[in-house]
Structure formats: structure tokens, C-alpha cells
Chains A and B, each alone.
Chain A
Amino acid sequence: MSQTPDTRCHLPPTSPANPTGALVFDRVVISLDGAPLVSLNAQVAPGEVVSVMGPSGVGKSTLLAYAAGFLAPAFDAQGEVRLGDRRVTDLPASARRLGLLFQDALLFPHLSVAGNLAFGMPSSASRRERREAIEEALADIGLAGFGERDPATLSGGQRARVALMRTLLSRPQAMLLDEPFSKLDAALRQEMRDLVFQRIRDHRLPALLVTHDRADAEAAAGPIVELAAATEAPAGAAWQGARRASR
């Protein structure tokens, strides 16, 4: 599936992975019915979090959907997304190795907590390795012994942490974050921001964060791209914002 040598499964979840290079949005323009909707030209270095901000409806999530491989057929996209020297936009969604975090934790309700973590792990690992990695990951987020629990019995913060670990255990080479803190209450939100951004730096993953909350972007401590609504300011304005990020 990937061109990089597979050394993932033996690494404990919290140790830094091999940096795979920058996540590059190379002159990406997404249009709907021929009209440009959103565009981005940005380079995200390993360990860096670029925040894409803008009002709702501006197409922030569409950008992530394009990078992750879920763009609805109604949209047209130009440009490409690269991860190191791989053009991920040529690959099927399941081979892109981009870790996703959504507003909701989206823990599979039919699997246990451990089952959710195992779901994302490479199948090359042995049963014992998988179990150990899961136990270690759970201990790492303060949920030791929670493996057999039903995800429905976890609190919102616990679910968010499991979702983060599930993504990290799949050894992604970059992260795409779609408003991942917006449904958490205020106290929890700061805690999760710290955890997520810390892990992204530890793993030296390039990350793109889409948010409408300025505090998220400030906590990410990376470049900020402001997107404007396409109807008010056409593609040019979005490009301008993008240039600030690409530096």
C-alpha cells in the first residue's frame, strides 16, 4: 500500500515515527458547478499544524474531504496533494495514510474500545503485539483496563482520547483535523488541544486543522490560513490567505 518500509508495528504508540516529509497542497482549487469554491496552496512541515479558518459554508471541510479522498462527485478539483514525494490524490482513500479526526469521536459502536483501536492497526502485527500496543496506548491516555468496555459507556473526553489513539495506532503519515474540539465542553477542549498537538509534534506529523474557533488555531501555534466566502471575495482572496501560510 505505501512505498515507505513498514516498520510501524513494532513501535510503541507514543514514540516518534519516521518523519515522512511535508504535506503539500499544490495549487488546489475546488469548484462546484464550474465556480471556484475554495483554494489552497500550502506546505505543512512535519510536526507543524496549519490552521484553516473561515465562516461556515466556505468550504473548509471540502478541502479535507478532497485530501482524504471523499470529495463528492458534484465537486471538481484541480491541483494535487502530496505527502513527501507521494501524490496522495492519485491513491484510493484507504491507501493515503492520512489520519482523520472529526467533530465526533466516531468510535465504532459494534466494537469494544480495544476492538476500535485494533481496527486501525496494521494486520502484519501479531496478536500479542497488537494486544500489548493497545494496552500501552490505553495506559498512555489514562484509560488502562478500558479495553473490553463498550464505547457507549465512555465519557465524551474518554471517547475523544480513544479516537485520537485509534488514529495514531494506524501510523498515519499526516493528520487531517476537522473541527475536532468543537463538540467538547470548555474545560475538556483545552486538555484535548494540548494532547492532540503534543502528539502531532511527538510523531513529527504534518497536520491540517480546519476550525472556526480562533482559540483552536492559536493553540495549534502554527500558520493560519483565512478563507473568505467565495461569493464575497472570489478565489483571489483565498489565494492571498494561502500565500501567507506557504511562506
Chain B
Amino acid sequence: MAAADTSTFSRLVGLAPALTVLLLVAPVVAGLAGAAAPAFGWLPVLGGEQLSLAPWVSLANTPGLFEMLVLSFTTGLISTALALTIVVLFLGAFADSTAFVWLKRLLSPLLAVPHAAAAIGLAFLLAPSGLAMRLVSPALSGHATPPDYLFPGDPFGLALIAGLVVKEVPFLLLMSLSALPQCQADDRRHLALSLGYSPVTAFLKAVLPSLYPLIRLPVYAVIAFASSNVDVAMILGPSTPPTLAVSVVRWLGDPDLSMRFMASAAALSQLGITLLALACWWCLEQAVRWCATPRLTDGRRNSGQRLGSLLGGGLTWLSVTLLGASLLGLTLWSLAAFWPFPSAWPTPLTLANWGRALPGLLPAALDTLWLALAATALATILVIGCLESEALNHRSMGASATLVLYLPLLVPPVAFLYGLVQLQAQLSVAPGFMVVVLGHCLFVLPYVFLSLAESYRRLDPRWAQVAAGLGHGPAAAFVRVRLPLLLAPIATAAAVGVAVSAGQYLPTLLLGAGRLTTLTTEAVSLASGGDRRLTAVYALAQLLLPALGFALAIGLPRVLHSHRRALLT
């Protein structure tokens, strides 16, 4: 442009991308370094002043290490493969149906359910004395007392896989839905249908080969999450031995401080196991591509149609139903007084559990709220700054920027957060609110960005041009035109941010050094105890906050723009 724009606004906006990169990259790199040093014996605070391999030797001698590694690896890969299969088959089988429209509407609320709440709900639903067994007992199952099977916590991690799948399906579905328009999915599908292909086959052969590269990073993020998460694995995973990530957190909390050397080595191993899972997935990709490419053009019109539509429909509704039934079960438990086994409905219903929980619930809810608001505000401002800077400079970020955005989602949090805690101790930064806010931001910012970028980039640039033609500079065009036009997507992105922050377990626990109690940390620690009623109350409270956020995000633009029809569709 001939006239360089050097207003304060443009300069401020220009800072946003650099700040964002710094915020996302610096903690991950510093955290990994902070975990690497003690893993090789270097931790002066605890007297480790010599490089040694001793931490690795003691890790290798830990009983059950191999099982832990295998468990993390298999649950990560299997749950991702299942979730991706479900999403792909569903998209293929139901693209034009009303079921599709319905699921799209359900997607945001499903995504807002925090992982821990979903896991607790699933545990209560499928446990031997859970709601599902009560519904078929004693009439169908013949059990008058709870049957004897291990759930959650089965040694193969099946409960853990189920818990991961029900939360990954909505995420992958959302990412696919936003990628579909970019590969002209509808046109291609309709073309293939007109050439005589059945719906699922049309999708698999004409759309999927272009769709998959667009959702590859989200899939990798899912693998990284599934192979290294802590809260779901604590609630649903086996305990002897647990997954590696859970062990790392346990060793870190061990009163014997010398355990921290071994914990560091384990944290690095977690990074290794996640990278191994990613590498295996990449090999799988290549194998599938090698096998499938010749079949794309073999002219068969019905490949995978019957099985695909059956599985796609069945499994999607199964995972949605599981999540829905889990929430119903949580609600019943939170209102139950006395609820003996085979009865499916607790009588009487009472609010006593809520009343009992209230003194602890309120401060935890407030802490969760403030954390979520602070992290979301910071993340949203930075994201809008980045996108506005794109708009002002007429160029969008490259592939490397996307990778930066995904960095905190691809590196196992347990590996770098743990290193950050070590650094925090060495630099004597007091753990507390601000540190935790920054920690939440690492995970909130990518989701806010992913949620907002599409709408921001699609906004017609002529709106700002009209404003400039009428004499308004970039700042006024931003405040008076772009922000109001984008109010709804910004509100939704902020609600996503609140939901992500409210669901964070590990950053709150580690960076807050246990001093910050949120609904999620309470729910997770209650889940390992025996009080189902109290746990259900916390899990529901944990869910209410994000739900409230989404309700506001949907309602607020409707109220503010109630007389502006074009903005309500």
C-alpha cells in the first residue's frame, strides 16, 4: 500500500502475533527444558549437581513400567482410530439428513462438557451399580445385587477408551464440519451420487481424500491428548498400574522429593510415547493411503456402503447417547438420598446433597469463574489481535503459524507443565492465580483461535473499505464495524474459551501448587473417593459453568441485535 498506516491501533495490533507466539512457544520449550535437566540428575535445589543416568535407571526398575507405557500407547491410538472412524462414517452416511442437522445443533453443548464431568458420568452410568445396569435389572439381567465386573478401571483400559471416544467424536466432528466447505464437499458428493455411487462410498472416494489432510493436525492433537491425559485416565483408567501420565503426577506429588528425578525422566518418556504414537499413526496413514488409492478409481459404487452406514449411524448415536445418559445419571445421583441397587429411580429426590456441597462449591465455582474469565479475556484479545493484523496486512498466517497454534496441543501437557513447575521453583516464582491463568491460556488460546478464525477471515473486506471510504480509520472500522458484525462468533469463541479453561485439571493442579481449588480439581479428587452424590454435584457444577457461557453466547447477540434481522440468521 502506498500510504503506510502507522496509527497506534495498527502498531498495537501488529504486536499481537509476536505476543501470541511467545505465549504459546516459550512455556512449552522452557517446560521441556525444565523437565530434561532433572531427568539427567540436574536439580541443584534438591542437591542434584551432577549429570547422571540414575533417574532413568530407577524409572526402568519401576514395577509395571512396561504396562504403563503400553496402556498409554494403546488407549491413545485405539480411541483416536475409533473416534475418527465414527466421524468419517457419520459424515458419509448422514450428510444430507435431518439427523445431521440435529447433531450439528448438539455439537456445541457436547463440546462444552468438561472431560472430567463426562468421565465421571460415564463411570456412574456403566459401573456395576450404575444407571445402565439398574435399567435392565433385575428383569432382564437377573441381577438383584450389582454384578461383579470391573468398571471403571478395567485392566485393558476399555473404560478409558470409551471415555476418550465420547469426548473426541464431537471435537473431530466440529473440525471436519469447518473443513468440509474448503474441499467443496457437497458438490463432490452430489457429483459422485449422480454417477451412481452410494452415499457412504461417494464420501469415502470423492471427499475424504481431500478432507483428511485438512483435519490431520486436529487428529494429531487428539492422539497427543488421548495418550497423555491425566484426569480422564485417573477417573476411568486402571490403577495398578495406571497410565504413564497418571504415574508422573503421582510421583511428582510424592512426599519423597528425590522421586522428582525419576518423575522428570518419566515426563520425558511420556513425550517419547506420544511421539511414538504419532509416528505409528503416520505409518498407518501411509498404509491406508497405499491400500486405498487404487480402490478410489476401481469403479465400485457400493464399497463400504452397508457396513459404513450401519456403523456410522449406530456408533455416533451410541456415543451421543452415552454422553447424554451420563449427564442424566449425574443429575439423578446429585438428587438422590437413598438409592438401593436395582431401582432405576431414586426416591425421594432431594436437594440435600447440593445444600451439603454448597459451602465448598461456591468458592471453587468462583475461582473457576475468575480463572476462566481471565484466561479467556487474554486469549480472546490476542486472537482478535492476530486476526485483525491479518486483515490489516492482507495476508493470512502460514503453515508454521498453524503449527505454533497446535504446539501446546501436540506436546503432552504433563511433560512440559511438569518442567515449568521445576523452573517455577528454581526461579522462585510464587505459584498462584496469574501463573495458572497463563497456564490455562496455553490451552484456551488455540481453541479460541480455531473457533473464531473462520468467521473472521470470511468477513467481507468491503465492510472495512466502506468504512474507510466514509472517512473512518482502521481503529474506528474495527470498533464500529468489524466487532459488532462479529459479535456472535466472538461470543461463541469466548464461550469455548471458558469451557476449555473450566475443564482444565493438570495446569490448575501443577502450576497452582494445589492452592487453587476449582470445580474440576475438586471433581477429580472426589471421583476417587466413595461419595457418589457429592461427586455428581461437583461434576454437574463443573458442567453448568460452560453451559451458562454458551447460553450467554447464543442469547447476548440476539438481545443486542434484536432489531437487526440480517445478523440473526
> Do A and B form a real pair?
yes
Seen from chain A, the residues whose Cβ lies within 8 Å of a Cβ on chain B are 1, 68-73, 77, 89-100, 102, 104, 106, 108-112, 119-120, 122, 150-153, 166-167, 170, 172, 176
Residue in B470, B563, B565, B567 whose CB lies within 8 Å of A119: B470
Chain B 459-474: CB-based contact to A (< 8 A → 1; otherwise 0) = 0111101111111111
Question: What are 23 A-B contacts with C-beta separation under 8 Å?
Answer: A69-B1, A69-B2, A91-B3, A92-B468, A92-B473, A93-B3, A94-B471, A94-B476, A99-B470, A106-B466, A108-B463, A108-B466, A108-B485, A109-B564, A109-B566, A109-B567, A110-B487, A110-B564, A119-B467, A119-B470, A150-B565, A170-B471, A176-B469
Could you say which residues of chain A place their CB within 8 Å of the CB of B460?
Answer: 106
Whether A1 pairs with B471 at a CB distance below 8 angstroms is yes
Kindly state the separation between the CA atoms of A1 and B472 in the bound complex, as whole angstroms: 11
Do A120 and B470 contact each other (CB < 8 Å), given the known contacts A70-B465, A150-B564?
Answer: yes
CB distance from A25 to the nearest CB of B (A): 13
Of the listed residues B1, B5, B467, B470, the one surrounded by the most CB atoms of chain A closer than 10 A to its CB is B470
Residue in B461, B469, B472, B566 whose CB lies within 8 Å of A98: B469
Residue in B2, B469, B473, B567 whose CB lies within 8 Å of A110: B567
Kindly state the separation between the CA atoms of A97 and B472 in the bound complex, as whole angstroms: 10
Could you say which residues of chain B place their CB within 8 Å of the CB of A72?
Answer: 394
Name the CB-closest residue of A to B466. A106
Whether A167 pairs with B471 at a CB distance below 8 angstroms is no
Whether B468 pairs with A69 at a CB distance below 8 angstroms is yes
Whether B565 pairs with A167 at a CB distance below 8 angstroms is no
Could you say which residues of chain B place their CB within 8 Å of the CB of A119?
Answer: 467, 470, 472, 480
Q: Would you call the interface of chain A mostly helix, strand, loop, or mixed? A: loop
Whether A170 pairs with B465 at a CB distance below 8 angstroms is no
Could you say which residues of chain B place their CB within 8 Å of the CB of A96?
Answer: 469
CB distance from B483 to the nearest CB of A (A): 9
Q: Does B484 contact A (CB under 8 A)?
A: yes
Closest 6 CB pairs of A and B: A120-B470, A109-B566, A152-B565, A100-B469, A93-B468, A152-B566
Q: Does B558 contact A (CB under 8 A)?
A: no
Q: Does B561 contact A (CB under 8 A)?
A: yes
CB distance from A36 to the nearest CB of B (A): 17
Kindly state the separation between the CA atoms of A89 and B461 in the bound complex, as whole angstroms: 20
Kindly state the separation between the CA atoms of A150 and B484 in the bound complex, as whole angstroms: 15
CB distance from A159 to the nearest CB of B (A): 11
List 8 additional contacts besides A92-B468, A99-B469; criterion CB under 8 Å: A77-B2, A89-B3, A99-B470, A106-B463, A108-B485, A109-B566, A109-B567, A119-B480
Which range holds the interface residue count of chain B?
A: 20 to 34
Whether A70 pairs with B461 at a CB distance below 8 angstroms is yes
Could you say which residues of chain A place their CB within 8 Å of the CB of B469?
Answer: 68, 93, 96, 98-100, 167, 170, 172, 176
Kindly state the separation between the CA atoms of A120 and B481 in the bound complex, as whole angstroms: 12
Whether A110 pairs with B485 at a CB distance below 8 angstroms is yes
Could you say which residues of chain B place their CB within 8 Å of the CB of A109?
Answer: 485, 564, 566-567
Name the CB-closest residue of B to A163. B466
Chain B 1-23: CB-based contact to A (< 8 A → 1; otherwise 0) = 11101000000000000000000
Kindly state the separation between the CA atoms of A100 and B472 in the bound complex, as whole angstroms: 13
Q: Does B145 contact A (CB under 8 A)?
A: no
CB distance from A113 to the nearest CB of B (A): 11
Q: Does B393 contact A (CB under 8 A)?
A: yes
Could you say which residues of chain B place their CB within 8 Å of the CB of A99?
Answer: 469-470
CB distance from A219 to the nearest CB of B (A): 23
Could you say which residues of chain A place their CB within 8 Å of the CB of B481?
Answer: 108
Name the CB-closest residue of A to B463. A106
CB distance from B50 to the nearest CB of A (A): 55
Could you say which residues of chain B place their CB within 8 Å of the CB of A112?
Answer: 563
Of the listed residues A90, A170, A176, the one surrounded by the most CB atoms of chain B closer than 10 A to its CB is A170
Could you say which residues of chain A place their CB within 8 Å of the CB of B5?
Answer: 92
Could you say which residues of chain B place their CB within 8 Å of the CB of A166?
Answer: 470
Could you say which residues of chain B place their CB within 8 Å of the CB of A111?
Answer: 564
Whether B561 pairs with A110 at a CB distance below 8 angstroms is yes
Q: Does B395 contact A (CB under 8 A)?
A: yes
CB distance from B44 to the nearest CB of A (A): 51
Kindly state the separation between the CA atoms of A94 and B478 in the bound complex, as whole angstroms: 13
Name the CB-closest residue of A to B560. A110
Chain B 551-569: CB-based contact to A (< 8 A → 1; otherwise 0) = 0000000000101111100
Whether A110 pairs with B484 at a CB distance below 8 angstroms is yes
Kindly state the separation between the CA atoms of A166 and B472 in the bound complex, as whole angstroms: 13
Whether A90 pairs with B2 at a CB distance below 8 angstroms is yes
Could you say which residues of chain A place their CB within 8 Å of the CB of B567?
Answer: 109-110
Kindly state the separation between the CA atoms of A222 and B566 in the bound complex, as whole angstroms: 37
Could you say which residues of chain B place their CB within 8 Å of the CB of A91?
Answer: 3
Could you say which residues of chain A place their CB within 8 Å of the CB of B465?
Answer: 68, 70, 93, 100
Kindly state the separation between the CA atoms of A73 and B4 in the bound complex, as whole angstroms: 11
Kindly state the separation between the CA atoms of A152 and B565 in the bound complex, as whole angstroms: 6
Chain B 324-352: CB-based contact to A (< 8 A → 1; otherwise 0) = 00000000000000000000000000000
B1-53 at interface with A (beta carbon < 8 Å): 1-3, 5
Kindly state the separation between the CA atoms of A47 and B48 in the bound complex, as whole angstroms: 84
CB distance from A65 to the nearest CB of B (A): 8
